[in-house]
């Protein structure tokens, strides 16, 4: 990310603008990490429920052979999410090097992959081959999936907004510092938001990976 | 989106402009509370119709296996509530900027026409943190008074062990509504009004990090309140505020109001905490080092971390409950592979930090106020901060003491008994700090200070009875009795609400420029203090004698004590009425201006005019010294409010250098 350079002699208004601009950049970084902390406790509840019910195995109904979600569909969802997140991370490195068009192309693909994962999750829920209360495992699976797909969908809305925000920013602004504070601030805020998004989306990809291991291999 | 930073144009005075300025549209077409109500009603009707359609179309209307009381109305009710919430937010204009950005249009807020003007701003999705603080203050008073009236209805019923005002069903509905309303809505009673209003000013900032998230956190609370109240129309919920399964998955549709409202409030507090933490970390003025942070801000940060980390657990618990009731999962249904103990664990993993979520802001207020009225520096500042952080950390390791008598592995009891007893140590730090500050002080016994002292007194009784209850044999004896009820009322009402009152009397002149009437305040304090103790102290004896909670009949030999308690509760209610009269009288009718610094406080918030200017400060201040240097010879001013050019730049440069080095 481009560094903010504060001229030696600024008016109080300019000083203030720079000060709060720096604060906003830091907020994006801090907010993403904090959000990941909060989401960890949310998803952690499902992990706790998974192992708690597995350990209890009430009435021998933790897991039955009938309550088995489609492995191919679950794997596809996980692959789509992880691929989208990794692609987004890779193209983030490109825009940091000033290649906006490569990021735009990659981000659109990441968006399509992410949305495809959401659609697949909905389809999986619609055609799930067991009743939600068939077992403890079935309950955790049916409970977790809508929460995850909601977060994934919100992340994709965020990515779409970032793509729309990037469109009017000239390519050159990512290569060299724009001439005015306003333009420089716009680019830096976009980059801060993009970095935060990439962090959160990669975090969600890690959650998808853990969920895939739990639901299809650890049960 | 959740962690989108706000472009400059979206941030006006005090954190921002209205999300939807409305342009040249007539008032009725601008997003505000009336459009929100329309949105909520339309959303509810749509959701209910959708639920009816789904249950009919999919055959999901079958009753929950093995749970005969479950009924098929859960889907329409839950979907109705969900779409009502979405409609409410859409009516307020919460989604407008997101939709604008999605189609590549700039977000609104360019026009400053509606900024900080008139009463109407309090009924809009306003982004100024000071407006949000006032919205919270009024909202919290309404919620508290509603729940308080329910408490008085309960005490009326308990006037006689044999003659009844309500049926047992109605009584338990009232108990549930009172408990849930107090525990879920009062979570924000200090963070909401004082945290949102004062924290940015106390740290020397002109704005908050995420004004939209802050405003959203408030506007979720009226819906949570209304949804919870609507439970009365649906038959209520017969399980108190804890919502234990399997009762909660067997209960009729009133339980849906409990689960949706409580879950929604979980979202609200998580958002509020998120904004406060990031604001304090990123928006402190130059010179506002962690070691100079006001103790109230420390308490807000500690509480906010609990919000962000514990509230998602509450949300997950309520979500699982709703899924069991609607999608017919079996999280909490033992016979289908679930476990009701799972609910107890999830609920109390949130529920015990919740207790400290309620206590910590109270500690913060009293620790902030006593140096002002003792005219002495706060004794052992670092110990007070450590106490708050210690309480926050330990609060995640004690939840199983709520399960001592409901299924915990007996071998685990000593561990949680010890962790529970350990938490009294950081709590004791707060008392140590108070004792050191009081020592040889010439105390000014003004109304806020009286409430602070009362808070220490009440919380001491609540805390000591809590240590007693953490002991397994004592807990086994007193479990489920009025003794426990008296204990937590001493900590929550005696601690939190007394501190809240101290905060109102102290900071209302700052927030409104109007001071509450001191004489009425004194009457309010003494009646509330005496009536509170007269109400809850005998309940220890009542509980010890074996009267169980949530039961509307009791042994006839306990009628004398119960009558004493009920009559005292009316006096307690009267004291709150006196406060409301004082509040309305002083702020609406008399409106005597108090523009100065009535308490001679060194707090940064008192260095600006009352109420603060639109931008909080003319310039970014530079903090020079501790806010607690009362009576210190040659103490520097707390801040330079008009620093020379270049000072702030130097601070930015040094922060940049530190970041690069790190």
H-run or E-run covering B373: helix B340-374
B57 pLDDT exceeds 90?
no
Query: pLDDT tens, A68-92?
Result: 899 999 999 999 999 999 999 999 9
Tell me which H or E stretch contains B544: helix B518-544
Model confidence at B4: pLDDT above 80: no
User: Residue A21: its chain B contacts at CB < 8 A?
Assistant: 8
pLDDT on residue A210: 98
Min Cα distance A75 → chain B (Å) is 23
Please check whether residue B619 is in contact with residue A12, taking contact to mean a CB–CB distance below 8 angstroms. yes
B35: in domain: no
Measured between alpha carbons, how far is B494 from B453 in angstroms, rounded to an integer? Answer: 11
Does a structural domain hold residue A3?
no
Identify whether residues B586 and B636 lie together within a single domain.
no
Name the residue with higher pLDDT: B9 or B382: B382
Q: Residue A90 belongs to a domain with what CATH number?
A: 1.20.120.80
What pLDDT score was predicted for residue B8? 44
| Subunit contact A38:B339, Cβ cutoff 8 A | no
Residues B576 and B631 occupy one common structural domain: no
pLDDT at A130 over 80: yes
Mean of the per-residue pLDDT values for chain A?
93
- Minimum Cα–Cα distance from B328: chain A residue: A133
B274 CB near a chain A CB, below 8 Å? yes
Classified as helix, coil or strand, B195 is helix
Flag if A186 and B270 touch (Cβ within 8 Å): no
Is the confidence at residue B532, as pLDDT, over 70? yes
Interchain contact B7–A (C-beta under 8 A): yes
Q: Residue A34 and residue B308: Cβ atoms within 8 Å?
A: yes
- Is B123 exposed, middle or buried, given 0-12, 13-18 or 19+ CB atoms closer than 10 A? middle
Does residue A3 surpass a pLDDT of 80? no
Residue after which a domain boundary falls, among B590, B610, B644: B590
Q: Which residue in B98, B209, B309 is closest to A37 by CB distance? A: B309
- Whether residue A131 lies inside any domain: the answer is yes
Q: What is the pLDDT of residue B199?
A: 98
Contacts A140 to B, Cβ<8 Å? 331
pLDDT for position B409: 84
Look at A16 and B338 and tell me if their CB atoms are within 8 Å. no
CA–CA gap between residue B359 and residue B524 (Å, rounded): 22
Q: Is A6 left (phi over 0), alpha (psi -120 to 50) or beta?
A: beta
Interface with chain B: mutation pick from A28, A115, A132, A155, highest number of B CBs within 10 Å: A132
Residue of A nearest to B103 (CA): A164
Residue of chain B whose Cα is closest to the Cα of A6? B649
The reply to whether A169 falls in a domain is yes
**How many interface pairs between A and B have CB atoms less than 8 angstroms apart?**
225
Could you tell me if B197 and B280 are in contact, meaning their C-beta atoms sit under 8 angstroms apart?
A: no
- Which helix or strand (DSSP H or E) is residue B622 part of? strand B622-623
**Residues B365-374 pLDDT 10s:** 999 999 999 9
- With tokens 């009920």, the residue in question is B566
Confidence bin at B71 (pLDDT 50/70/90): low
B-chain residues near A24 (CB < 8 A) = 5-6, 209, 282
Residue B23 is predicted with a pLDDT of 57
The rounded distance, in Å, linking the Cα atoms of A208 and B62 is: 33
* CATH number of the domain where residue B195 is located: 1.20.210.10
- Residue B60: burial class (beta carbons within 10 Å; 0-12, 13-18, 19+): middle
Tell if the CB–CB gap between B337 and A138 is shorter than 8 Å: yes
Residue B387 has pLDDT above 70, yes or no: yes
Rounded Cα gap, residues B404 and B413, in angstroms: 6
Mutate to test the interface with A, among B269, B275, B329 (most CBs of A within 10 A): B329
Burial B267-294 (b: 16+ CB within 10 A, else e): bbbbbbbbbbbbbbbbbbbbbbeeebbb
Residue found under tokens 């924000």 = B188
Does the pLDDT value for residue A5 go beyond 70? no
- The residue with greater pLDDT, A50 or A16, is A50
Closest CA to B406 of B480, B468, B336: B480
Enumerate residues 294 to 323 of chain B having a beta carbon within 8 A of any beta carbon in chain A.
308-313, 315-317, 319-320, 323
Tell me whether residues A34 and B274 touch, CB distance under 8 A. yes
- Residue B137 tokens read as 């203050």
Q: Which of A203-207, A208-212, B14-18, B353-357 has the lowest mean pLDDT?
A: B14-18
Averaged pLDDT of chain B: 90
pLDDT bucket at B73, cuts 50 / 70 / 90: confident
Residue B16 pLDDT exceeds 60 = no
Query: What DSSP line would sit under B517-542, residue for residue?
Result: PHHHHHHHHHHHHHHHHHHHHHHHHH
In this structure, are B511 and B378 located in the same domain? yes
| Residue A6 included in any domain | no
Share of chain A above pLDDT 90, in %: 83
Nearest CA in chain A to B648: A15
| Domain contains A7 | no
User: Quick check: B210 and A31 CB within 8 A?
Assistant: yes
Q: Which residue has the higher pLDDT, B70 or B517?
A: B517
Confidence of residue B662 (pLDDT cuts 50, 70, 90): low
- The pair of structure tokens assigned to A191 is 């980059």
The region of weakest confidence among B19-33, B395-409, B572-586 is B19-33
φ/ψ (deg, to 5) at B638? -65, -30
> What's the start-to-end Cα distance of chain B, in Å?
29
Alpha helices (runs of H) in B231-253, residue ranges in sequence order:
247-250
For residue B566, pLDDT over 90 is answered with yes
Task: State the CB neighbour count (10 A cutoff) for residue A213.
Answer: 11
Nearest residue to B118 via CA among B107, B126, B129: B126
Q: How many residues does chain B have?
A: 662
Q: What is the ipTM of this complex?
A: 0.94
pLDDT score of A12 more than 90:
no
Is residue B99 less than 8 Å (CB to CB) from chain A?
no
Report the candidate in B428, B463, B297, B294 with the shortest Cα–Cα distance to residue B371: B294
Chain A contact for B106 (CB, 8 A cutoff): no
> Residue B55 domain-assigned?
no
Same domain, B295 and B150: yes
Number of Cβ within 10 Å of residue A170's Cβ equals: 11
In a domain, B292, yes or no: yes
Instruction: Give yes or no: residues B489 and B631 share one domain.
Output: no
- Within 8 A of A189 by CB-CB distance, chain B residues are 5, 7
Pairing of strands B622-623, B639-640: antiparallel
- Evaluate whether residue B181 is within a structural domain: yes
Integer angstrom CA distances of residue B205 from A21, B284, B449, B464: 13, 6, 27, 39
Given its phi and psi angles, is residue A165 left (phi above 0), alpha (psi -120 to 50 degrees) or beta? alpha
Instruction: Report pLDDT for B22.
Output: 54
B284 within a domain of the structure (yes/no): yes
B546 plus B638 within the same structural domain: no
Q: What is the enclosing helix (H) or strand (E) of B639? A: strand B639-640
Q: Which residue of A has its CA nearest to B350?
A: A41
The answer to whether residue B110 scores a pLDDT higher than 50 is no
pLDDT-derived band at B496 (thresholds 50, 70, 90) equals very high
Instruction: Tell me: pLDDT of A60 over 70.
Output: yes
Judgement on whether residues B634 and B564 belong to the same structural domain of the protein: no
- Distance from the Cα of B407 to chain A's closest Cα (Å) equals 13
More confident call, B103 vs B114: B103
pLDDT tens string A166-197: 999 999 999 888 888 888 999 999 999 999 99
> Coil, strand or helix: which one is B640?
strand
Into how many domains does chain A fold?
Answer: 1
Domain extent for B531: 128-590
In a domain, B109, yes or no: no
- Shortest distance between the Cα of A27 and any Cα of chain B, in A, equals 6
CA closest to B206 among chain A residues: A20
Which range among B241-255, B265-279, B451-465 shows the weakest confidence by mean pLDDT? B241-255
* Whether residues B174 and B320 fall in one domain: yes
Write the burial class of residue B536 (CB in 10 Å: 0-12 exposed, 13-18 middle, 19+ buried).
Answer: buried
3-state secondary structure chain A: CCCCCCCCCCCHHHHHHHHHHHHHHHHHHHHHHHHHHHHHHHHHHHHHHHHHHHHHCHHHCCCCCCCCCCHHHHHHHHHHHHHHHHHHHHHHHHHHCCCHHHHHHHHHHHHHHHHHHHHHHHHHHHCCCCCCCCCHHHHHHHHHHHHHHHHHHHHHHHHHHHHHHHCCCCHHHHCCCCCCHHHHHHHHHHHHHHHHHHHHHHHHHHHHHHHHHHHHHHC
Instruction: Quote the pLDDT of residue B70.
Output: 46
Give the pLDDT band of residue A7 (cuts 50, 70, 90): very low
Residue A8 lies in a domain: no
Q: Residue B645's pLDDT is what?
A: 81
Q: Is residue B45 part of a domain?
A: no
Q: For residue B615, is it within any domain?
A: no
- DSSP designation for B548: B
Q: Which residue of B lies nearest to A199 if distances are taken between CA atoms? A: B3
User: Which residue range is the domain that position A128 belongs to?
Assistant: 13-218
CB–CB contact A193 B65 (8 Å) = no
3-state secondary structure B61-104: CCCCCCCCCCCCCHHHHHHHHHHHHHHHHHHHCCCHHHHHHHCC
Q: Which residues of A touch B206 (CB under 8 A)?
A: 16, 20
């Amino acid at each position: 990310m481009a560094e903010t350079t504060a001229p030696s002699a600024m008016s109080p208004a300019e000083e203030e603008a720079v000060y709060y601009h720096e604060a906003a950049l830091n907020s994006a970084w801090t907010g993403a990490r904090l959000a990941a902390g909060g989401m960890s406790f949310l998803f952690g509840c499902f992990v706790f429920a998974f192992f708690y019910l597995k350990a209890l195995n009430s009435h021998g109904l933790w897991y039955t052979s009938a309550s088995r979600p489609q492995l191919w569909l679950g794997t596809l969802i996980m692959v789509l999410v992880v691929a989208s997140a990794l692609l987004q991370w890779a193209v983030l490195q490109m825009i940091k090097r000033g290649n906006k068009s490569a990021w735009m192309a990659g981000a659109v693909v990441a968006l399509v992959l992410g949305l495809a994962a959401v659609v697949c999750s909905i389809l999986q829920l619609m055609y799930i081959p067991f009743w939600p209360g068939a077992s403890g495992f079935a309950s955790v699976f049916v409970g977790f999936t809508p929460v995850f797909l909601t977060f994934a969908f919100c992340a994709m809305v965020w990515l779409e907004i970032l793509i729309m925000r990037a469109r009017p920013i000239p390519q050159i602004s990512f290569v060299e510092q724009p001439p005015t504070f306003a333009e420089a601030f716009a680019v830096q805020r976009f980059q801060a938001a993009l970095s935060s998004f990439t962090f959160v989306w990669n975090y969600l990809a890690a959650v998808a990976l853990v969920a895939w291991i739990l639901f299809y291999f650890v049960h | 989106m959740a962690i989108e930073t706000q472009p400059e144009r979206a941030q006006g005075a005090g954190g921002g402009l209205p999300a939807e300025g409305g342009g040249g549209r007539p008032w009725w077409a601008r997003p505000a509370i009336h459009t929100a109500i329309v949105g909520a009603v339309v959303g509810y009707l749509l959701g209910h119709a959708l639920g009816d359609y789904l249950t009919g179309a999919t055959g999901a209307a079958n009753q929950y296996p093995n749970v005969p009381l479950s009924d098929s109305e859960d889907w329409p009710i839950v979907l109705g509530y969900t779409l009502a919430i979405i409609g409410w937010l859409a009516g307020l204009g919460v989604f407008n900027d997101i939709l604008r950005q999605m189609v590549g249009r700039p977000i609104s807020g360019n026009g400053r026409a509606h900024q900080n003007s008139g009463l109407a701003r309090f009924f809009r999705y306003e982004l100024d943190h000071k407006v949000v603080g006032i919205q919270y203050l009024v909202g919290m008073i309404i919620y508290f008074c509603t729940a308080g009236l329910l408490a008085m209805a309960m005490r009326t019923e308990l006037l006689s062990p044999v003659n009844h005002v309500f049926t047992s069903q109605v009584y338990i509905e009232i108990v549930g509504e009172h408990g849930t309303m107090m525990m879920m809505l009062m979570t924000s009673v200090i963070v909401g009004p004082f945290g949102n209003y004062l924290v940015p000013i106390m740290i020397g900032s002109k704005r908050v990090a995420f004004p939209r998230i802050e405003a959203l956190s408030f506007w979720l609370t009226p819906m949570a309140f209304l949804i919870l109240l609507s439970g009365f129309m649906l038959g209520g919920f017969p399980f108190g505020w804890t919502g234990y399964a399997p009762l909660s998955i067997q209960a009729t549709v009133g339980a849906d109001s409990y689960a949706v409202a409580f879950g929604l409030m979980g979202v609200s507090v998580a958002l509020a905490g998120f904004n406060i933490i990031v604001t304090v970390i990123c928006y402190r003025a130059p010179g506002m080092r962690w070691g100079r942070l006001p103790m109230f801000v420390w308490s807000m940060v500690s509480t906010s971390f609990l919000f962000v980390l514990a509230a998602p657990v509450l949300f997950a618990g309520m979500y699982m409950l709703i899924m069991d009731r609607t999608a017919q999962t079996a999280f909490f249904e033992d016979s289908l592979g679930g476990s009701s103990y799972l609910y107890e664990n999830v609920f109390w993993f949130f529920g015990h930090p919740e207790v400290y979520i309620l206590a910590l802001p109270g500690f913060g207020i009293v620790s902030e106020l006593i140096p002002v009225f003792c005219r002495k520096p706060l004794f052992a500042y670092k110990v007070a901060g450590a106490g708050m952080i210690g309480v926050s950390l330990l609060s995640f390791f004690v939840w199983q003491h709520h399960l001592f008598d409901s299924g915990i592995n007996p071998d685990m009891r000593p561990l949680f008994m010890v962790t529970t007893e350990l938490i009294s140590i950081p709590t004791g730090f707060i008392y140590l700090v108070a004792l050191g500050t009081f020592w040889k002080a010439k105390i000014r016994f003004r109304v806020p200070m009286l409430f602070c002292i009362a808070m220490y007194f009440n919380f001491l009784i609540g805390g000591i009875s809590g240590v007693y209850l953490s002991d397994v044999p004592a807990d086994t004896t007193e479990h489920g009795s009025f003794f426990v009820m008296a204990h937590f009322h001493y900590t929550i009402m005696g601690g939190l609400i007394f501190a809240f009152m101290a905060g109102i009397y102290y900071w209302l002149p700052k927030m409104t420029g109007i001071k509450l009437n001191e004489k009425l305040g004194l009457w309010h304090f003494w009646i509330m203090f005496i009536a509170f103790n007269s109400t809850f102290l005998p309940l220890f004896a009542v509980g010890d004698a074996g009267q169980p909670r949530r039961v509307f009949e009791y042994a006839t030999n306990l009628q004398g004590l119960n009558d004493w308690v009920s009559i005292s509760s009316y006096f307690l209610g009267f004291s709150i009425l006196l406060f409301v009269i004082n509040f309305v009288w002083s702020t609406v009718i008399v409106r005597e201006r108090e523009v100065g610094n009535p308490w001679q406080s060194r707090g940064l918030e008192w260095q600006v005019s009352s109420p603060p200017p639109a931008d909080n400060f003319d310039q970014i201040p530079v903090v020079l010294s501790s806010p607690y240097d009362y009576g210190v010879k040659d103490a520097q001013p707390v801040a330079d409010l008009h620093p020379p050019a270049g000072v702030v730049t130097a601070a930015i440069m040094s922060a940049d250098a530190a970041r690069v080095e790190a």
